[in-house]
């Protein structure tokens, strides 16, 4: 999807793009005037854009949007103990592609203090990766990202306000495989907690249990943080989709060319 900023679109619906996006349109999609592309506005509408003109470094399009607002996300938020910087970098785009609504990065006993100094926690560095994930998956809603330095106040004091009605799940190799009723009823929000690669401590597991988290897993073998996040979010997203919609098998899927 060609993802635009609202401020890039003129009153007549036209927009001129350059840089990485124009290079993709010109070199990969090989777009020509009159061709239509999938397009959307960050945190807004989605539909198509007609190519009006091309040059060696820019593309001018006219937006033809159908949706009145940004499509809903997956209904899943992720509470993640801050992983190693290179792992966090790998995670940003897939989380956006999967439609995660909110990412809460937090501390834990087995999280190294210097992880919080990583430049991959800075919006200037992770937002472009989130945008790439949205473009890949043809989504427009940017996940909300928050950093919490203290786990206990987050779990005991903040989650009730942030997620008053969410189903709370804790990733743990000892937990059972997610069942069909894991995500609750139609439209239910899910908050998934994934720990550091060294695992949650006994105290942290008790903290989550006292605050309404149920353990789920993907089998007895420990997984890296990025693999566990992507796998569990995909499974839970499928379950939510199966409960809220019935998608025909013949529906055309959105793939990147």
pLDDT tens across 148-200, in order? 999 999 999 999 999 999 999 999 888 888 876 777 665 678 999 999 988 89
Domain ranges of the chain: 2-65, 76-244
Secondary structure class of 65 (helix, strand, coil): strand
CATH number of 2-65: 2.40.240.20
Distance, C-alpha 71 to centroid of its chain = 13
Which of 23-27, 98-102, 182-186, 247-251 bottoms out in mean pLDDT, i.e. has the lowest?
A: 247-251
Q: Give the tokens for residue 160.
A: 């009730």
CB distance 213 to 193 below 8 Å: yes
**CB contact set of 179 (below 8 Å; sequence gap of 6+):** none
pLDDT higher than threshold 90 for residue 251: no
- Position 178 scores a pLDDT of 82
Enclosing H/E stretch for 215? strand 214-216
Give the CATH H-level superfamily of domain 76-244: SPOUT methyltransferase, trefoil knot domain (3.40.1280.10)
Calculate what percentage of the chain has a pLDDT beyond 90: 73
From residue 125, alpha-carbon distances to 88, 144, 147, 154, 257 in Å are 11, 14, 15, 25, 25
**CB contact set of 19 (below 8 Å; sequence gap of 6+):** none
Strands of 66-126 (E only): list them: 76-81, 102-106
2-65 and 76-244 in the same fold: no
**CB contact set of 218 (below 8 Å; sequence gap of 6+):** 173, 177, 228, 231, 232, 235
pLDDT digits 0-9 by tens, 78-107? 999 999 999 999 999 999 999 999 999 999
**Hunting for tokens 């990583």 — which residue is that?**
118
- Position 209 scores a pLDDT of 96
pLDDT higher than threshold 90 for residue 51: yes
Secondary structure class of 224 (helix, strand, coil): coil
- Position 173 scores a pLDDT of 86
CB distance 93 to 133 below 8 Å: yes
Of residues 175 and 204, the one with the higher pLDDT is 204
**Hunting for tokens 């509470």 — which residue is that?**
79
The model carries a pTM of 0.87
Strands, sheet with 46-54, edge to edge from the N-terminal-most edge strand: 2-4, 36-41, 46-54, 58-65, 14-18
Q: Rounded distance, CA 167 to CA 164, Å? A: 9
Q: What is the band of 250 on the pLDDT scale with cuts at 50, 70, 90?
A: very low
Average of per-residue pLDDT values in the chain: 88
**Average pLDDT rounded to a whole number, residues 232-252:** 66
- Position 7 scores a pLDDT of 92
């Amino acid at each position: 999807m060609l993802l635009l900023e609202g401020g890039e679109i003129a009153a007549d619906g036209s927009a001129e793009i350059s840089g990485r996006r124009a290079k993709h349109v010109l070199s990969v999609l090989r777009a020509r005037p009159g061709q239509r592309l999938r397009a959307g506005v960050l945190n807004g509408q989605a539909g198509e854009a007609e190519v009006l003109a091309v040059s060696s470094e820019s593309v001018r399009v006219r937006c033809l949007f159908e949706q009145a607002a940004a499509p809903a996300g997956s209904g899943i938020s992720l509470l993640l103990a801050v992983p190693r910087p290179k792992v966090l970098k790998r995670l940003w785009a897939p989380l956006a592609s999967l439609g995660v609504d909110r990412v809460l990065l937090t501390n834990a006993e087995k999280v190294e203090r210097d992880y919080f100094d990583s430049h991959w926690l800075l919006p200037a560095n992770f937002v472009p990766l989130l945008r790439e994930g949205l473009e890949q998956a043809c989504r427009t809603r940017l996940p909300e990202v928050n950093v919490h330095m203290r786990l206990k106040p987050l779990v005991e004091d903040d989650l009730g306000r942030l997620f008053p009605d969410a189903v709370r799940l804790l990733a743990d190799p000892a937990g059972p495989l997610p069942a069909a009723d894991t995500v609750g009823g139609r439209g239910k929000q899910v908050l998934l907690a994934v720990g550091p690669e060294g695992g949650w401590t006994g105290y942290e597991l008790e903290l989550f249990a006292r605050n309404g988290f149920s353990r789920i897993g993907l089998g007895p073998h420990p997984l890296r943080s990025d693999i566990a996040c992507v796998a569990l979010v995909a499974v839970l997203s499928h379950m939510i989709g199966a409960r809220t919609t019935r998608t025909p098998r013949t529906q055309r899927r959105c793939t990147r060319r």
